[in-house]
Amino acid sequence: MKKCPECGGKLLTIVYGLPIDEIYEHAEEKGLYFAGCCVDLYKYHCKKCGTEFTKDFKMSRRKDDDIFASEKNDGEH
Ligand SMILES: [Zn+2]
């Protein structure tokens, strides 16, 4: 299970499209997070702080504001 680089919380894998009820009910314990039908480039959702990350963690965004915080690269990589 991956951890959030921001807060260390549990990261859920974002699933796009409409899930069947059975899967939806157990989504959290399976580590999945359903984002609806709109396919986005974000792949992970932090359960704790709500930040979402792309697959390679190069981009992230907060759930509460819609600002793309893609300038987190401070030269160390
Ligand atoms: Zn987090």
Cα–ligand 1 centroid distance for 66 (angstroms): 16
- The domain total for the chain is 1
Asked if residue 24 belongs to a domain, the reply is yes
> Ligand 1 mean position to 7 CA, how many Å?
4
| Cα of 20 from ligand 1 centre, angstroms | 27
46 found inside a domain: yes
What are the tens digits of pLDDT across the range 13-30? 998 877 777 777 888 888
Q: Is residue 27 part of a domain?
A: yes
Question: In angstroms, rounded to a whole number, what is the distance separating the alpha carbons of residues 77 and 62?
Answer: 22
Cα–Cα distance, 10 to 39 (Å, whole number) = 22
Q: Is residue 26 part of a domain?
A: yes
Q: What is the pLDDT of residue 70?
A: 47
pLDDT in tens, 45-62: 999 999 999 999 999 998
Q: What is the pLDDT of residue 68?
A: 47
Domain of residue 23 covers 11-61
Closest CA to 17 of 3, 27, 2: 27
The whole-number pLDDT of residue 17 equals 79
Q: How close is the Cα of 54 to the center of ligand 1, in Å?
A: 13
42 in a domain, yes or no?
A: yes
